[in-house]
Amino acid sequence: MKRSDWVLLVIPGVIWGASFFFIAEGLDAFPPQLITPMRLVFGFLTLIPFKGSRVKLPREAYPRLILLGLFWMTFPLSLFPFAEQHVSSSITGMLNGATPLFVATFAGVLARRLPPRQQVLGLVVGFIGVVFIAVPTLGEGSNSVFGVSLIILAVSCYGISLNMSGPLQQKYGTLPVIVHSQAVAIICTLPFGLASLPDATFAWHSLLSIVALGVGGTGIAYVMAITLVGRVGGTRASVTTYVMPVVSLFLGVVLRSEPIAVLSLIGCAIALIGAFATNKPSPAVTEASTN
């Protein structure tokens, strides 16, 4: 990876690591079903002024773009606010550190072959780490179990979408793919957001958090991340999630005073080690994520 690739890897990780803090702040005033369309609209408005975002795409691209919009934005971005009603932003961020594990798993499924032994070992180690992160939270009751389940489901969606986005970006360009995916997600989530307006209140810190979430997390970070996917493939690009747990943990503990179990911290370290081992250069995974 070149120096510019590392910049594209680290900055989205910082932005997305902060996104779980912003979601938690947004939930102080807005219902979860309103947060997702709000962030999508702010992200869309951030990107649409760029000329490249308004490129018309051929009709044959739309079935895949619709699927990408569902798995990349509609489903996961809708699940996280509901999850954070039951699980802290720190735990949410740490569990998102497992994204490379899901990317590598789905890359192997798409390639219809098992990954090399080293990567299988990395996957096993990583998923053990995920269990360690979740165990203290699961002991808090059924609501926490539900929240963790939503996070794992959302991360699974990222595993699928990061393998889909690379080929589309290489064929049609970065901005058109992002903006069309956002449009799909806005269409899917806006009716639920509008229906929840009577349950919303107002707080400046919540609004500013959602603006930052949309402009940064659903705008700038997506452009940088999908550009990296086009350069180095979905599996390597997903390494940006190594940064996310550190940022989300810091913000959750320092700014929101969220308690964190030692076992969860150990699990986070194990998950990241497993993800690192999984994402070492390997023909089986690299080819699957870039074809």
Tokens read off for 11: 């900055």
End-to-end C-alpha distance for the chain, whole angstroms: 18
pLDDT number for residue 291 = 33
Helix H or strand E encompassing 283:
helix 283-290
pLDDT recorded at residue 290: 35
Phi, psi of 162 (to 5 degrees): -70, -25
Distances (CA, A) of 273 to 12, 50, 127, 265: 20, 38, 10, 13
* Residues sharing a CB contact under 8 Å with residue 287, sequence separation 6 or more, in sequence order: 111
CB 229 within 8 A of CB 28: no
Residue 166's domain comprises 3-290
pLDDT at 234: 65
- Cα–Cα distance, 176 to 290 (Å, whole number): 19
Q: How far is CA 25 from the centre of its chain?
A: 18
Give the residue carrying structure tokens 């180095």: 232
pLDDT in tens, 76-104: 999 999 999 999 999 999 998 888 888 88
Calculate helix-pair angle for 99-111, 283-290, nearest 10 degrees. Answer: 80
Q: Which residues contact 68 (CB under 8 A, 6 or more apart)?
A: 161, 164, 165, 168, 177, 181, 184
**What is the enclosing helix (H) or strand (E) of 179?**
helix 174-195
Q: What does the pLDDT profile of the chain (291 residues) look like in tens digits?
A: 788 888 888 899 899 999 999 999 999 999 999 999 999 999 999 999 888 888 889 999 999 999 999 999 999 999 999 999 999 999 999 998 888 888 888 888 877 777 788 778 888 898 999 999 988 887 766 678 899 999 999 999 998 998 888 788 888 988 899 999 999 999 999 999 999 999 999 999 999 999 999 999 999 998 888 788 778 876 677 677 778 888 999 999 999 999 999 999 999 999 888 887 876 655 443 433 333
Dist. CA 266–CA 261, nearest whole Å: 9
Helices 262-278, 89-96: axis angle to 10 degrees equals 20
25-75 residue pLDDT tens: 999 999 999 999 999 999 999 999 888 888 889 999 999 999 999 999 999
Cβ atoms 81, 36 nearer than 8 A: yes
Backbone angles phi, psi at 56, to 5 degrees: -80, 135
Would the CA dihedral through 56, 62, 66, 72 be positive or negative? negative
How many domains does the chain divide into? 1
Which residues, 6+ apart, have CB-to-CB distance to 103 below 8 Å? 158, 159, 162, 163, 234, 235, 238, 289
